[in-house]
Structure 1
Amino acid sequence: MNHFLKFISAVLISWTSMAFANQKIVLISDVDDTIKISDVRYLYDKVSFSVFKDSLFFGMNLVYQAIAQKDSESVSSEFHYVSNGWKPTVEESHGAILNDFKFPDAHNYRPRNLKEVLTKVSHKENQIQSIVNQEQPDVLILVGDNGEKDPKTYHEMAKKIKKQYESEGREVKIYTYIHIVYEPKNKQTLDLMPDQIPFSNAAELAVELAERGLIKGTSAIKIINAVKEKLAIEPANSVYGPLVNPYFKYRKKTSYYHRSQCLRNYNQSPFVSLLNGLND
């Protein structure tokens, strides 16, 4: 969480005009353990959470909504949700999360079908490529988590897409954000590629996006305040409903992401001063 404050000053920059006017932004998001609490590494929890329809990582819908608000500023945005889950087992709970919490373009949902399960095709890679070919984005945002293969998959797809654009004489900006849900083996790299940006909750993701002009600074502050307030009242070892830190997050002691450390950082004077300045 210590790196969080390093980006606070960057939010100030994003209050000016945005850098992506007249461009098309496409966001491709994983679902399980990225926006939906799933605990995919543990079979018992994975099965249990698969039926919960309100297990939202608190604030993630607000972040995506903030990106969608850019549409009113001559910026086109499209959202797609790609899951390696098999459609009959995940469609109901995923659909509830996307629709009930008003994720933008919730209908653009792509789980695996039976043929893909049986043939073991690279579903996520194929869907990302299909979406890029269809939408032709100027800015591509990939959002996943460190529970399974997203860091490797996104890194390989980013390289492939950049090469494709270069061969066509075009440019594309690609930003990859990885939700750190499980304790990384490498505390320095967080098991990510150099071009990937980690976040531990919706507030951190909002700051990262604001730094790059992908959402308004004022939107980021609203999300940060919401997460801060939620953390302050969220019981330890929580299981049900929208949560910032569900009970399984960081089973080992990881002070960087611990709830108490988050709250301490949110209450440090530089952060408080920034919030007060916006609220004046």
Structure 2
Amino acid sequence: MKSFWKQLVVIVVLVFAGKGASAQTIVITDIDDTVRPQYVQDLSDSAKYVFDKDSLFLGMSELLNVIAKDAQARVFYVTRAPEWLLGNTHRESLARGRFPGGVYFPRTVHSKDKHKYKVIEEIIDKTRPDDVIMLGDNGEADPGVYNTMTMMYPGIRFHQYIRNAYNTPKFGGEGTSLYLGQQFFVTPIEVALDLQRRGFLKNSSVRSLVDSLVPRIVAEKGKPKRGVMAFPYFVTCRDFYWSWDQEISVYPSLLDLKAKIEKRCNN
């Protein structure tokens, strides 16, 4: 944990020491229902995860570490969750999960509706990136917030990945639908494959992720509620569409992953 926050302090200094700071690529990621389960759409069940520092989405730490290394990207953790309620849980979860060091922005001053807009705008204005990789989920506001950022900064290339944690109204759910330019994902593998196509990740890094994560995802049984999970019990992902058949010839185990995802998301 000390190492994680040592990295965080270093990055804070680098990013916010002055207006002259710049970066080619940055990562902005949500936390709840993106890298760790929270079940934000059910108040009673959501409460069970408030102090859970060990439950995580399988492979998200590995994915973010690879992105940070291959793309030489700075990582920003931006959440609408209030500092007083989830700040300690988030910090411990990121540390225990060995996520890359970064800057953590819980909600402290702004309202719930304004927090992400204000913080992300500040991050972009100070880092002045060429590319922004954005990770979120469709439980609440991420698709809308991220879409607004793309309109505010037309000169920046945005790469938006939204976890399909909840069915959208198309399938009788209350999950948020995607905006133009956004992609659903249900495991970190789809994000890695797409970032490889876009030139951010090395072939060797994606190979490592596929070889280490796919067997664990495929082997998961049932609908778990605690621990490191690919598909927590509350996930409903009927909106997800697999579009990586061309990579199966390179990574044959993707065929098993595709079958696993289609079975789970249609169940």
The answer as to whether partners of 1:57 and 1:242 remain within 8 angstroms in 2 is yes
The count of aligned residue pairs is 228
Query: In 2, Cα distance between the equivalents of 1:33 and 1:182?
Result: 10
- Say if 2:175 is the partner of 1:183: no
In structure 2, give the amino acid aligned to 1:172. I
Structural RMSD (CA): 2.7
Over 3 Å counting, the alpha-carbon distance change for 1:226 and 1:185 in structure 2 is: farther
One of 86, 91, 94 as aligned partner of 1:90: 86
SS at match of 1:96: helix
The answer as to whether partners of 2:63 and 2:209 remain within 8 angstroms in 1 is yes
Q: CA deviation at 1:116?
A: 2.8
In structure 2, give the amino acid aligned to 1:141. I
Query: In 2, Cα distance between the equivalents of 1:154 and 1:146?
Result: 11
Higher relative contact order (CA 8 A, sep 6+): 1
Q: CA deviation at 1:215?
A: 1.2
Over 3 Å counting, the alpha-carbon distance change for 1:255 and 1:150 in structure 2 is: closer
Query: In 2, Cα distance between the equivalents of 1:146 and 1:130?
Result: 23
The answer as to whether partners of 1:33 and 1:40 remain within 8 angstroms in 2 is yes
Q: CA deviation at 1:142?
A: 1.4
Q: CA deviation at 1:191?
A: 1.6
Query: In 2, Cα distance between the equivalents of 1:256 and 1:172?
Result: 26
Structure 2 match to 1:165: none
- Say if 2:67 is the partner of 1:67: yes
Measured against aligned partners, the alpha-carbon deviations of 1:97-140 in whole angstroms (never above 9, x if no partner) come to 2112222224x000011x434xx560000000000111111111
Structure 2 match to 1:231: 217
- Say if 2:144 is the partner of 1:152: yes
Over 3 Å counting, the alpha-carbon distance change for 1:81 and 1:192 in structure 2 is: same
The answer as to whether partners of 1:56 and 1:243 remain within 8 angstroms in 2 is yes
- Say if 2:126 is the partner of 1:134: yes
Structure 2 match to 1:56: 56
Q: Where do 5+ consecutive residues of structure 1 fail to align?
A: 1-21, 163-170
Structure 2 match to 1:36: 36
The answer as to whether partners of 2:150 and 2:156 remain within 8 angstroms in 1 is no
Structure 2 match to 1:116: 110
Among the aligned pairs, what percent are the same residue? 28
The answer as to whether partners of 1:23 and 1:76 remain within 8 angstroms in 2 is no
- Say if 2:261 is the partner of 1:275: no
Query: In 2, Cα distance between the equivalents of 1:104 and 1:207?
Result: 20
The answer as to whether partners of 1:201 and 1:244 remain within 8 angstroms in 2 is yes
Q: CA deviation at 1:255?
A: 9.1
Q: Where do 5+ consecutive residues of structure 2 fail to align?
A: 1-21, 254-267
Over 3 Å counting, the alpha-carbon distance change for 1:269 and 1:125 in structure 2 is: closer
Q: How do 1:151-230 residues align onto structure 2 when only pairs under 5 Å count?
A: 151-162=143-154, 171-186=155-170, 191-230=177-216
- Say if 2:41 is the partner of 1:46: no
Q: Give the number of the structure whose alpha-carbon radius of gyration is greater.
A: 1
Q: CA deviation at 1:200?
A: 1.1
Measured against aligned partners, the alpha-carbon deviations of 1:143-182 in whole angstroms (never above 9, x if no partner) come to 11100011111101111022xxxxxxxx421111111111
- Say if 2:91 is the partner of 1:105: no
Give TM-score scaled by structure 1 length: 0.74
Over 3 Å counting, the alpha-carbon distance change for 1:101 and 1:126 in structure 2 is: same
Over 3 Å counting, the alpha-carbon distance change for 1:256 and 1:156 in structure 2 is: closer
- Judge which range, 225-234 or 44-53, deviates more: 225-234
